Each structure stands twice: as structure tokens, then as C-alpha cells.
Structure 1
Amino acid sequence: MSNRLSLVPRNARPARSRHAGGILLIGIITLLALATAALVLQQARLSVQASDRIAQTRQRLEQAALALGRFALLHKRLPCPADGAQESGLAQPPTAPSTAPYRCTTPDGTLPWKTLGLGAEDALDAWGRKLSYRVTDGQTGVIREGSMLHARTAGLVVNDRGRTLLDQAWVLISHGASGRGAWLPGGARMGLPAPGGDEASNAAAAPAAFVQRDEQVLDLSLDTSIAHFDDLLLSRSMGEVDAGFGLLRFDDRRLASPPPDFNGRNAGVSAVTFDGDGRHGRVTVAATGGNLARNSETSGWAIGVCSGACSSDATSMLGAGQSLSIKLSFPSSTPPPEQLALSVWSAGPAVQGTVVLRKAGVDLPGGMLALPSQPAGPGALVGWTNLAASPAAPFDEIELSATGGTRLFLSHLRLCAATEPCT
């Protein structure tokens, strides 16, 4: 038997095995690192996509808000929602309801893009679903012809991250990535959110209390959880809509900062300063000849002057020897107006008056304007339009008086630039 000598040391063989095992381990670690990096990149891409969709949806909501503002300016009202199951994009009903009870046909519907002069894609969020739209309807809602100029109920309510927003004119809703409660192009509706949750409120018709809060999404496969939330909301208050076309109303809600101590019709004060919703800055309303008064025992939408018991319209309206002064403190970004329109109402058969326009406490040349007599009657608005000094000039104070033995309540003013129709 031949004995051959091995030239490889015996202890070298385990070393080779250890070397091969080390290479394998390094390969596994490298693969795991590459997989982790790929997963991180994928999650980053998904996060960027989600952020992009949220940003795009917010842009769509703002675009819709501008369209609603233009509609309110033109029609002095807001449209009803469109039927989410239809593709017409028309408000339902298409025109302002003209008979009681003045209701929208589909109160849990969608943005009426065609009525607003938008395109169909403008009414979709970034997930391709229709934007929901809510508005106050009814006798004193904001969908009747000219209703932005008349008595209105309190608006919608939005809970914005624990802060209660009252008197909202409208609410726009994207139902987020999950889409629970959203209407789809083609007319189908996605499954409704879990009952009792915040998303369920946003899928309901007005006057539900709508909710905007931070996103809470653990897993989209669990989007039926009552805790799930990924909706995006946008709303505007009645005052913001008014201010959007220069409208300054005089109702209880506008005179409530600080709140006058109303005793029936009597405000208990002769002057009050309140926030004019950005465009108008701070507004001071002052009465001469008595206290400020309202046209209703419980809640008012027009103001007069009270010099006695103030137990009726006749004793609460602005009359002989009395006046109302409205002083405006504009933010630097807002040019002062050069025209105004105003609306009043009177319990008498006719009404007339005078307006004096001032700048920094000085009467403008040609700024004393006669308001010609017009037929009136209980609850009927009477208006004068395109009022300006001659020559037209900016003003920051308006003083209103009744003349000819008539009496009146002031409902609202509209303030305008010199070049725009002021009606």
C-alpha cells in the first residue's frame, strides 16, 4: 500500500470552510441591506405620493372656494349640492328654490361644478373621487335667491382640531385616501365610514357637525375602524363670504364681539366695535339719539336706534333726530372703498334718508347724498346702489339718517371700488 504525504496542512481545511461561511454571511447581510434600502425608498416614494395628493387636493378645495365666492357675489346666494349619483355637475335644484320649505334635493351631495363654471376634474380630489359639498338650506338658509342679503339662520358647525367654528356658510370635504363616503365618477358611492366616528359625520348631510382633525391611519385595510380618519375639509364663515364681495351685515352675530347686553331689542350701549372679517378690519357702529337696537326681541338681522321702551319696530327704528355712524379701520392690504350700496327696511309704507361720507372725520366734497323715497313695508328690503361722492373719493365713515318723517332699520352695506358695479 502506498503512503502518500499530503501537502495541505490539516488545520487549513477548516479555515477554508470558515472563509466560505464568512463570504456567505456577508452576502446575506448585503442582500438584507439592499432589501431594506429598497423598502425605505419605496416607503419614501409612497410618502411623497401621499403628500403630493394631499397638496393637490387642498389646491382643488381652494379653487372650489374661489368659485363659490364668485357665485355668491353674482347671485347673492349659494348653490345647492349636485347629486353625487349623476354626472351633470348641476346643483339640485339647478335654480334657487322658490317655494317652501326651500330645501336642496340632495343635501349629502357633491360640488356642483357645472353650476359654478368649473370643469368636471376640478370637482375631484387627487384620488379621483368627487368633492362633497354641504350648505344650509331652508327658509332662512343661504340657497334662496338673494338670501345672503336677508335674515339667515346660524350656519354650519365645524370642529377644527378641537376649535369650534360656528356660522360656516359652506363646507367642502375630500374623503381622503380611504374614500369612505365619497361619490365616484360614474355615480357609485364608496362604503360609508363606521357609524359614530368623525368620518361618519363628514359623510352625513347638513346640519351635521363636521370634523377636521389630524390624520389617524394605522392601515388602510382597517379603514372601517371608528378611529380611522383621513378626511380633508375646507369651510368659510358667513362673514368671510360676505366680506368676499364687500358685504357688511348688521346682525346679532356680527355685533357680538364684545357682546352687548341685549334687553329685548335694546342693546344697552350706543356703540360697539367688532371684527369686520379681514377685508373691513375693525368696524365701529355708533348711534346718536339713543342706544343701538335690533329688529327682533330674540335675534336681529338689522339695527336701529332705541330711545325709549324699544318694545316694537316703531320704537326701535332709526327716526328723526337720530343717526347711525359706521367707522371702518381697514387693514393696510385693503384700499378704502369709493362706493357703497345699502339696504334697509321699514314698517312704514315708504322710506327715505341721507348718507354722509367722511374721510378721517372730514365730510367729503359732494359726499352728502340723498336717498330718494321708495315704497316699503314690514320685512321688505329697500336698497340704494352705486352711492359715491362727486367726484368719487375714498371714505372710511358712513353716517345714515332717516328723513321725511320715515323710520328704518339698517340691514347691510356693500363697499366697492370706484370701477365696479355696486349693487
Structure 2
Amino acid sequence: MSQPARSRGFSLVEAALVLVLVALVLGALLVPFGTQQEQKRIQETRDKMARIREALIGYAVARCGVTATVPCLPCPSAPGATWENTTGEPRASCATVNDAEGIVPWQALGLRKDDAVDAWTRPFRYRVLEKAVTGSGTVSHASGTNCPTTPSAITVCRRDPSGTKTFETDTVVALLLSHGPNGLGALLRAPGAATGDEAENADGNDRLFVTGTPTAADATNPFDDIVDWLSSNELCAKAPAGCANYQ
């Protein structure tokens, strides 16, 4: 005996409703999952930065104060045309503001090439205080809460959600920067040019960097960079023989 047409039609409606409900549930689950994955990448990036900082400290402990010509910290590595042909060897000299910024010199630090990229597979930006390499020169430190425009020391300013910046610190001997999920301004594998505060972090021609609250991609001043640094106080505590080179 065949099923009545009305009954068959009702079953199709029920099936359609079930599919709609399943789609809604999956959609609700996928959004938190995507957020969780992004947070996982951010934490992985911070963990990698911490390993690089420890490697920099180990480098300074082993070398600082050995002789006047031995650098306390390594120069950055120059980026190649692509990541694949970037060597990870430090520049021979980084006495100028431009040469003191580049790729993490993983070869000199005893790290793997994979250690020098963030969780989005883009290379970390590495800025070193020239005096920590050359052992000479003077560094003038800022006073007050205003964010300087042309500091002689590596300077970090903190931004709030509106983009307003205040002075954070200028006792930095080495700074590490990930260009975050959007990757804008990265030295290699960048999906595009940075703007606003992200452009300040990507210009490579001064000692000023910005950290702080992320803002959405569709904001006037989008920002998702991740910044970490090694302070002179921390390095003096671990490698006191070269302390004069960090101040």
C-alpha cells in the first residue's frame, strides 16, 4: 500500500527543517572554533618569541665581555628575495639604523629556520640596539609619557583602542615583532602593505615601535601586530659583563 502524498510531503518538510537546524548548529560551532584556532596561533607565536629571547640571552652570556670586539648580540640577517633563500646568517655589520633591523639570525643563535617564523609562517622582524653590537655610541632616553618621533633608543609606545599612543619603554636591547594574523608589512610573505600603526612597525628606518590593543581589520587603523622585547635590565642581570653596552 503506497504512502499518501500528503504524508510524503510532510516528511520532506521535516527533512528540510532538520538540515537547516544542522547548518545553524554547525555555523554556531565554527565561529568559536575559528577564534580558538586564532588564539592558538597567537600563543604559539608568543612561545616562539620567548625561545628566541632565551637564545639571545644565551648568546650574550657566552660572548659579552670576552673581548672588546666581540658583539654582545648578533646583527639581524638580511632577508633574501624569498624565505627559501634567506640564509639566517647575521649581517657582518649593523652599525646603522637600517642595518640593525631584519630577520632573526637563527644560525648564530643555534635555532632552526622554523623557529624564526611565526604561526602564520612569516618571519619575525628583529631589531637590535646598535650599541649592543658595536659596544660604542650613546643612547639618549626619553622622559615623560609622550611617544617620541625619532628616538635614539629602541622605543615602544602603547596604543589604546582609539589609536592614541603613550610612551611604554626605551630600555630595549632587542625587539621581536610578528605582523600578526593579517601579516601586513611583513619582511617576506606579506599579503600587502601595512597602514597606520602597523606601517610604523614595518618601516624599518627608525627605532620606534607600537604595541597594544588589537583593532579589527575593517577599523580606520587596523592593528594585530605582536611585539616582545628584551630589556637592558634583564640582560644586565643575566650577562653583567657587557652591561655597559646595553644602556
Distance, in Å, in 1 between the alignment partners of 2:75 and 2:221 is 30
Q: State the shift of 1:105 in Å.
A: 6.5
Distance, in Å, in 2 between the alignment partners of 1:104 and 1:208 is 7
Evaluate the alpha carbon distance shift between residue 91 and residue 117 of structure 1 in structure 2; reply closer, same or farther with a 3 A threshold.
same
Q: Greater RCO between the two (CA within 8 Å, min separation 6)?
A: 2
Counterpart contact for 1:193–1:226, Cα < 8 Å: no
Evaluate the alpha carbon distance shift between residue 72 and residue 250 of structure 1 in structure 2; reply closer, same or farther with a 3 A threshold.
closer
Going by fraction, where is helix more abundant, 1 or 2?
2
Name the structure 1 match of 2:27: 39
Q: Under a length normalisation based on structure 2, what TM-score does the superposition of the two structures give?
A: 0.74
**Cα distance per residue 1:133-157 (max 9 Å; x no partner):** 01222xxx2211xx2xx66414311
1:8-407 mapped onto 2 (5 Å cutoff): 26-76=14-64, 77-85=72-80, 86-93=85-92, 102-103=95-96, 106-137=99-130, 141-144=131-134, 147=135, 152-154=138-140, 155-161=153-159, 162=166, 164-184=168-188, 190-194=191-195, 197-205=196-204, 207-218=206-217, 227-246=221-240
Q: Percent identity?
A: 27
- Provide the secondary structure at the position in 1 that maps to 2:19: helix
Distance, in Å, in 1 between the alignment partners of 2:244 and 2:55 is 25
Counterpart contact for 2:97–2:205, Cα < 8 Å: no
**Cα distance per residue 1:184-224 (max 9 Å; x no partner):** 3xxx6543202xx1111111225342111122234xxx5xx
- Provide the secondary structure at the position in 2 that maps to 1:179: coil
Q: How many residues align?
A: 215
Distance, in Å, in 2 between the alignment partners of 1:115 and 1:152 is 26
Evaluate the alpha carbon distance shift between residue 103 and residue 61 of structure 1 in structure 2; reply closer, same or farther with a 3 A threshold.
same
Counterpart contact for 2:101–2:128, Cα < 8 Å: no
Counterpart contact for 1:81–1:104, Cα < 8 Å: no
Distance, in Å, in 1 between the alignment partners of 2:90 and 2:220 is 31
- Provide the secondary structure at the position in 2 that maps to 1:115: helix
Q: State the shift of 1:80 in Å.
A: 1.4
Counterpart contact for 1:56–1:126, Cα < 8 Å: yes
Name the structure 1 match of 2:68: none
Distance, in Å, in 2 between the alignment partners of 1:173 and 1:103 is 19
Distance, in Å, in 1 between the alignment partners of 2:237 and 2:49 is 19
RMSD: 3.1
Q: State the shift of 1:103 in Å.
A: 2.7
- Which amino acid in 1 is paired with 2:73? L
- Provide the secondary structure at the position in 2 that maps to 1:142: helix
Q: Under a length normalisation based on structure 1, what TM-score does the superposition of the two structures give?
A: 0.45
Q: State the shift of 1:249 in Å.
A: 5.6
- Provide the secondary structure at the position in 2 that maps to 1:168: strand
Divergent runs of 4+, >3 A: 19-29, 104-108, 160-163, 246-251
Evaluate the alpha carbon distance shift between residue 190 and residue 215 of structure 1 in structure 2; reply closer, same or farther with a 3 A threshold.
same
Evaluate the alpha carbon distance shift between residue 65 and residue 212 of structure 1 in structure 2; reply closer, same or farther with a 3 A threshold.
same
* Structure 1 unaligned spans of 5+: 1-15, 254-300, 302-423
Evaluate the alpha carbon distance shift between residue 47 and residue 237 of structure 1 in structure 2; reply closer, same or farther with a 3 A threshold.
same
Counterpart contact for 2:48–2:118, Cα < 8 Å: yes
Going by fraction, where is strand more abundant, 1 or 2?
1
Evaluate the alpha carbon distance shift between residue 136 and residue 248 of structure 1 in structure 2; reply closer, same or farther with a 3 A threshold.
closer
Evaluate the alpha carbon distance shift between residue 215 and residue 104 of structure 1 in structure 2; reply closer, same or farther with a 3 A threshold.
closer
Counterpart contact for 2:183–2:190, Cα < 8 Å: no
**Cα distance per residue 1:154-181 (max 9 Å; x no partner):** 4311123445112211110011111112
Q: State the shift of 1:54 in Å.
A: 0.8
Evaluate the alpha carbon distance shift between residue 28 and residue 208 of structure 1 in structure 2; reply closer, same or farther with a 3 A threshold.
farther
Evaluate the alpha carbon distance shift between residue 214 and residue 120 of structure 1 in structure 2; reply closer, same or farther with a 3 A threshold.
same
